[in-house]
Copies of this chain bind each other. A is one copy, B any other.
Amino acid sequence: MSRGSLLYAQSGGVTAVINATASGVIQQARTRKVRVLAGRNGILGVLREELFDTSKEAIADIRALAHTPGGAFGSCRYKLKSLDEDRARYERLLEVFRAHDVRWFLYNGGNDSADTALKVARLAREFDYPLTCVAVPKTVDNDLVATDCCPGFGSAAKYTAVSVREAALDVAAMAETSTKVFVYEAMGRHAGWLAAAAGLAGEGRDAAPHLILFPERPYDEADFLQRVQAVVDRVGHCVVVASEGIRDADGRFIADAGGGKDAFGHTQLGGVASHLAGRVQERLGLKVHWTLPDYLQRSARHIASRTDLEHALAVGKAAVDYALDGRNGVMPAIVRTSDAPYRWIIEPAPLEKIANREKTMPAAFIRKDGHGITAAARRYLTPLIRGEAYPPYGADGLPKYVALKNVPVKQTLDPFDP
């Protein structure tokens, strides 16, 4: 083993393949003879000096991480503020790094994590502490700039397209005497990438999904209801995919429509699909069903995309190489070099370009009528859901997901409450 350790931490919402990235990181670091420590519950564990020693894990388990969803070391939603505002926390990070001879820091998350990695890199430079910081991309929202796509998105996109195709067959078979309108709620508070992926389930005017509602377009109830009725009149049923982030003309999130009282007098939670379904039932008098897949869509490793898995492994390995090569303040980005055949490479992108920015759907990906995807969107999306990458299953009929031992590293510092 080389002198010094590499510290890896997961941040934000986990995905079906963030552990594949962890697997790539640890395998590559082992190849390069570097010990990997992992933060328990992300940066929180680093601040608390709660670190796991991944060298205690069997290689078979590290490989099995590549087919295990969730976050193997725990993740967190915890954003460090500016260097000035959060000085004590940033300095604590350096203190922990010093105590455990951490020379390379890999932060696996979205744009907040890229921002944190950048700030840690700056502080280390200021303190003359030899540290190389690399951000590793991950998010089902696909909203990171400077990378063609984000690991985690492709698998959630595949789940979405497959689920919508399957449910649409169900609805079509039953529509005459049962449900006429089906509403699917896709994740994406600010960007409609997952809703767009649903568009891959069918092609053509009468194929499901018949209507997609993007957060990039204002939601107009009268227009929506009219479109639903028109599709039902023409096709016999209507499959709607709505992004959780749609807002009305006043900028109110439709998802926030809940909060009233239910028939039992209790506060009722909201949701876009539930709201839209209610409007369809009340205004159009059509039988309606809706689905809120919620976490199922981002943890569905059983229907992961092979492309996505390959991306996730590759960014993990590249991040280790960048770190050990001293490329400070970068993120391995996926660069598409060809649509058909689909070809991609990994290249370093500077964190300054990524931190705190957000990539929404380009206008050229949304159909003119605002309710479907274009051929350009299909060209972009299709390779990302291509290929299957099934986990192994046991005789119990369930995927064999691994649980690591997560052996804690001995603490040497005073406690710290983040």
Query: Could you tell me the distance between the alpha carbons of A201 and B296 in the complex, rounded to whole angstroms?
Result: 14
A354 within 8 A of B: no
A277 within 8 A of B: yes
Contacts of A167 in B (CB 8 A): 294-296, 299
Chain B's closest residue to A170 (CB) is B299
Among A51-59, A103-111, A252-260, the one that faces the other chain is A252-260
The reply to whether A266 and B262 contact each other, CB–CB distance below 8 Å, is no
A300 within 8 A of B: yes
- Which of B166, B263, B301, B397 meets A302, CB within 8 Å? B166
- Which of B68, B161, B260 meets A398, CB within 8 Å? B161
A97 within 8 A of B: no
Instruction: Output the least CB separation between A203 and chain B (Å).
Output: 9
Chain B's closest residue to A297 (CB) is B291
Scoring A residues 105 to 132 as 1 if CB is less than 8 Å from chain B, else 0, what string do you get?
A: 0000000000000000000000000000
Scoring A residues 314 to 333 as 1 if CB is less than 8 Å from chain B, else 0, what string do you get?
A: 00000000000000000000
A229 within 8 A of B: no
Query: Could you tell me the distance between the alpha carbons of A174 and B40 in the complex, rounded to whole angstroms?
Result: 11
A360 within 8 A of B: no
A362 within 8 A of B: no
The reply to whether B281 and A291 contact each other, CB–CB distance below 8 Å, is no
The reply to whether A278 and B267 contact each other, CB–CB distance below 8 Å, is yes
Among A23-31, A75-83, A141-149, A210-218, the one that faces the other chain is A75-83
The reply to whether A266 and B289 contact each other, CB–CB distance below 8 Å, is no
Scoring A residues 190 to 218 as 1 if CB is less than 8 Å from chain B, else 0, what string do you get?
A: 00000000001100000000000000000
A351 within 8 A of B: no
Chain B's closest residue to A342 (CB) is B395
Q: How many residues of chain A get a CB closer than 8 Å to chain B's CBs?
A: 90
Supposing A77-B174, A269-B281, A295-B289 touch, asked if A388 and B393 sit within 8 A by C-beta, the answer is: yes
Contacts of A271 in B (CB 8 A): 274
Chain B's closest residue to A157 (CB) is B397
The reply to whether A262 and B257 contact each other, CB–CB distance below 8 Å, is yes
Query: Could you tell me the distance between the alpha carbons of A169 and B13 in the complex, rounded to whole angstroms?
Result: 12
The reply to whether A295 and B170 contact each other, CB–CB distance below 8 Å, is yes
Instruction: Output the least CB separation between A76 and chain B (Å).
Output: 4
Instruction: Output the least CB separation between A206 and chain B (Å).
Output: 12
- Which of A41, A169, A200, A384 gathers most chain B CB within 10 Å? A169
The reply to whether B295 and A278 contact each other, CB–CB distance below 8 Å, is no
Which residues of chain A (161-201) have a CB below 8 Å from chain B? Answer: 161-163, 165-174, 176-179, 182, 200-201
Contacts of A201 in B (CB 8 A): 398
A348 within 8 A of B: no
A14 within 8 A of B: yes
Chain B's closest residue to A386 (CB) is B397
Contacts of A78 in B (CB 8 A): 177
Question: Can you list 26 A-B contacts (CB < 8 A)?
Answer: A13-B174, A13-B178, A41-B176, A68-B169, A70-B166, A70-B170, A70-B172, A74-B172, A76-B177, A77-B174, A78-B177, A158-B397, A162-B399, A166-B401, A256-B263, A257-B268, A263-B270, A266-B275, A266-B278, A268-B268, A268-B274, A271-B274, A292-B292, A382-B397, A387-B393, A387-B397
Residues of A that sit less than 8 Å from B by CB: 10, 13-14, 16, 41, 44, 68-72, 74-78, 158, 161-163, 165-174, 176-179, 182, 200-201, 256-271, 274-275, 277-279, 281-282, 289-296, 298-303, 305, 307, 382, 384-388, 390, 393, 395-399, 401
Closest A-B pairs by Cβ, 3 of them: A70-B169, A71-B173, A385-B397
